Amino acid sequence: MNVRDFTVKKPDGSALPLADLPEGPILIVNTASKCGFTPQYEGLEKLHEDYADKGLTVLGFPCNQFGAQEPGDAAEIANFCSLTYDVKFPVLAKVEVNGAGADPLFQHLKKAKKGLLGSEAIKWNFTKFLVDKAGNVVKRYAPTDKPEALAKDIEGLL
């Protein structure tokens, strides 16, 4: 099973099969609107602007599991992302990334690329997973890794 085998939910609750995304690498990020790392939305949008026409898809998944830093509903999250950071990449339905209610996609991502010391758990918002064209998870990045630092790895997959 690979990332393109999963279906996720859009903010309106409708399905988005990841197999329907353009052929190319995918950057998957758990996001939050009220986090110290929230300014990374700007860098993620820059990656989207720089590489979308070459095949990169950036996907944001709001998550309220870390310090309750994403309390809003889908409309509030969309307004924040659009008005504050002019985000044009898809920001999908709010998910859980850890625990019994973890979204199946994130369960897969965590197993495919473990964190520090082999830990599967996502430690905080803005953990990033880079997926190749075939849907294989190739790298996991910490919340402290700035989006611009991922450019070289993304370029290698384009």
Task: Give me the active site residues, please.
Answer: 35
Beta-bridge partners for 91: 60
Q: What are phi and psi of 61, to 5 degrees?
A: -120, 100
Amino acid at 57: T
Nearest in space to 59 (alpha carbons), one of 85, 93, 86 = 93
Beta carbons within 10 angstroms of residue 149's beta carbon: 12
| 95 within 8 A of 61, measured Cβ to Cβ | yes
Amino acid at 106: F
